[in-house]
Structure 1
Amino acid sequence: MINGIHLLLYSRDPEADRAFFRDVLGFSSVDAGEGWLIFALPPAEMGIHRGDGKFVEHHADHDLSGSVIYLMCDDLRATMDSLKSKGAETTEIVQAGWGITTTVRLPGGGGLGLYQPRHATALDLGRN
């Protein structure tokens, strides 16, 4: 029985990005040892999109499908203002058919999508 999903986020500076998730985003965590934080995540959903074949990561001796991370919110502008007040940087808002979106810059050099969806979400569905 599947009871959860463990997401891997790759970073050039994991310590800085862990601090960002803890201090700026306010995600709770447990220390798995030696400062390796494992974060609790908000409710999640998954959409499966066609890829170009480049979204593969070799991990634990297997090729695994890659992914893109988008955080979701009810009010994009208010969420951006809150993040900016904590020192986070975001890009300009982009209007897309599926929602309004920005990118949150991570200290490690990467980014996370952040969007206010315009589509039905699966966040409130019960667990299997």
Structure 2
Amino acid sequence: MIEGVHAIVFGQDAEAARAFFRDVLGLSGVDAGGGWLIFALPPAEVAVHPTDGEPVHELYLMCKDVHATRAELQTKGVEFVEPVTDQGWGLVTRLKVPGGGDIGLYEPRHPSPLPNFG
């Protein structure tokens, strides 16, 4: 029934955000027309968390070693907006997407349905 996920990152400078995903993160993609890039993502998982406030949705990139990935991304000029913290379920930090706010980066410490992380 469900065969994929299409995530959307909104930004005030979509061109800068697209260049970041293409050039810094190295994601491959296609031009859907007029320079509108759509990127392929690695396998994904989705979790549903309870909240007492308004529901929000977040995007986290996953890696096997958050400290090594952070160091590698910093050599490419990526700005991190939070230190790495241990949340129990994983080691988490946040990085700035030029023109597109910030997103999470984490090293999972929980069981995962993904073969590379399970």
Superposition deviation, residue 99 in structure 1: 0.9
Superposition deviation, residue 5 in structure 1: 1.2
Q: What SS does the aligned partner of 1:79 have?
A: helix
Q: What SS does the aligned partner of 1:93 have?
A: strand
- Alignment identity in percent? 53
Specify the alignment match of 1:98 in structure 2. Answer: 89
Q: How does 1:17-32 map to 2 (within 5 A)?
A: 17-32=17-32
Task: Find the aligned partners of 2:52 and 2:32 in 1 and give their Cα distance.
Answer: 35
Deviations 1:61-95 (A, max 9, x none): xxxxx510111100111100110111101131111
Superposition deviation, residue 10 in structure 1: 1.2
Task: Find the aligned partners of 1:72 and 1:54 in 2 and give their Cα distance.
Answer: 25
Superposition deviation, residue 16 in structure 1: 0.5
In structure 2, which of residues 44, 57, 67 is the aligned counterpart of residue 67 of structure 1? 57
In structure 2, which of residues 56, 61, 66 is the aligned counterpart of residue 76 of structure 1? 66
Q: CA 1:108–1:30 in structure 2 vs 1: closer, same or farther (change >3 Å)? A: same
Task: Find the aligned partners of 1:83 and 1:111 in 2 and give their Cα distance.
Answer: 14
* Structure 2 unpaired stretches of 5+: none
1:97 counterpart letter in structure 2: G
Specify the alignment match of 1:61 in structure 2. Answer: none
Deviations 1:7-32 (A, max 9, x none): 11111111110000001111000000
1:92 counterpart letter in structure 2: P
Task: Find the aligned partners of 2:52 and 2:20 in 1 and give their Cα distance.
Answer: 31
Q: How does 1:85-124 map to 2 (within 5 A)?
A: 85-90=75-80, 91-124=82-115
* Structure 1 unpaired stretches of 5+: 56-65
Q: How does 1:49-64 map to 2 (within 5 A)?
A: 49-52=49-52, 54-55=54-55
* TM-score scaled by length of structure 2: 0.90
* TM-score scaled by length of structure 1: 0.83
